[in-house]
Amino acid sequence: SEPVTLPAGAVLFEEGAIGHSAYLILSGRIAIFQRRDGGESVLGRRGAGELFGEMAILDALPRSAGVRAEEDCVLVPVGAAQIRQRLAGADPILRLCLEGLIARFRETLPRLGPAVAGSRPAALSPAARADFDATVAALAQERALRRALAQDEFALFLQPIVRLATGRLAGFEALIRWHDPERGLVPPAAFIPAAEASGLIVAITAWVIGEIGRIVPPILQAGLQAPASVETSLFVSFNVTAQDLARSDIPGLIDAMLRRTGIAPGALKLEITESTLMQDPAGAAAALARCRAAGLGIAVDDFGTGYSSLSHLSALPITTLKVDRAFVRAMLAEPRDRRIVQTILRLAEEIGVAAVAEGIEGRAEAEALAAMGCALGQGYHFGRPMPQADALAAAAA
């Protein structure tokens, strides 16, 4: 997409041509025109900072009008493949809106001229049909999630996190569950992506923070009185997304919750996935720094899967790396995965943060990780995510 220059008076493309790119105008001015009955009419003009020529790319139909430079222009082409790649990755609801808008625009064309009018296909393409179906499903899912929030159908389960060297309970990770009256217990993988796409995640996370304030005090209390198998100062970690950090005042919500409940900030840890952090490291940094300054721990979740740059990592106020389950699961069979785990543990040590290995399903992994110096472990071997009452019993046992 090198900028191209178009001298005043030159025609860039004619009506009816196949579109290969849209154009951004860096400088100059273009006219959009149609020739009819020997005459020519100008339909519109575009100047610096505007885009033109996108329609034929979006609906893959011939150009509905020609374009000529009215002044010397510098244009940046945006190739069809570049646009279609973005469209393919876009939310289907957004795509459907765009398709509707283009169809509506094409319908106005008969009044403008015969050349392109009626070239809209009669039947919906399979892709448009799929977008339509996906939109119907997404809206139903969103309605169900709103109802779930209103009717308090969510619950936080707690999964034990154990100190590998001693086998003592060190804390819990809070993991959300949805008690859907129709479907029963729904795991987060089935609704968190939809919550993120619809923006409902922000309300869900606000609910999580409130619920943390309710369930954590009795757990910390139990830890204080617990026998030798449990550490005295337990912690509870919970998950937040990039959208939460960007769109809502997470530090403010947490701060209000801490004041209301008297929970010691050091007993809480924020978990944020590595891939999320890398989407917008600068945006996440400010919110994380405020949470860290308030005394919370900051854990990078699913570490090893998100292509972190180390310079970004070192700029963030991280206290914990969570080694992704994929490496832990494979480490006994695959020397390569074992070396990745070892490397992550060494990195954690170098930058002075704690490491938690996730997804420990057997005693062999637990022992290998302990021998490799991994401080904390989490997985079905130690316990599955459990309702609050069971976690309370575990903390008191």
> Residue 265 carries which DSSP code?
G
- Cα separation, 390 vs 373, in Å, equals 29
365 binds Ca ion (CB under 5 A): no
Question: Contact between 176 and ligand C2E (CB under 6 A)?
Answer: yes
CA distance 299 to 277: 11
| Chain-centre distance for alpha carbon 304 | 17
Pull the structure tokens for residue 390: 């069971």
Residues 227-266 that bind ligand C2E (CB under 6 A): 238-241
Q: How far is residue 158 CA from its own chain's centroid?
A: 23
Query: Which range, of 97-105, 177-185, 351-359, 371-379, touches Ca ion by CB under 5 A?
Result: 351-359
Q: Is 359 in the site for ligand C2E (CB under 6 A)?
A: yes
Q: Kindly tell me which of 99 and 358 has the beta carbon lying closer to Ca ion.
A: 358
- Give the residue with the Cβ less far from ligand C2E, 30 or 356: 356
Minimum CB separation of residue 241 from Ca ion in Å reads: 11
Gap between the Cα atoms of 11 and 23, Å rounded: 14
Minimum separation from the CB atom of position 356 to Ca ion (A): 9
Q: Which of 380, 387, 389, 393 binds ligand C2E (CB under 6 A)?
A: 380
Residue 302 interacting with Ca ion (CB under 5 A): yes
274-277: long-range pairs with CB below 8 Å, 24+? 274/300, 274/301, 274/302, 274/303, 274/304, 274/305, 274/306, 274/307, 274/308, 275/302, 275/305, 275/306, 275/307, 276/241, 276/242, 276/306, 277/242, 277/306, 277/308, 277/312, 277/316
List the one residue out of 154, 221, 181, 261 whose CA is nearest residue 395. Answer: 221
Contact between 301 and ligand C2E per CB under 6 A: yes
Which one of 15, 271, 274, 365 is in contact with Ca ion (CB under 5 A)? 271
Does residue 175 bind ligand C2E (CB under 6 A)?
A: yes
Per-residue contact track with Ca ion, 187 to 226, x per CB under 5 A?
----------------------------------------
Contact between 239 and Ca ion per CB under 5 A: yes
- Which residues here bind ligand C2E, judged by CB under 6 A? 159, 175-176, 187-189, 192, 208, 238-241, 271, 301-302, 325, 358-361, 378-380, 385
- Which residues here bind Ca ion, judged by CB under 5 A? 239, 271, 301-302, 358
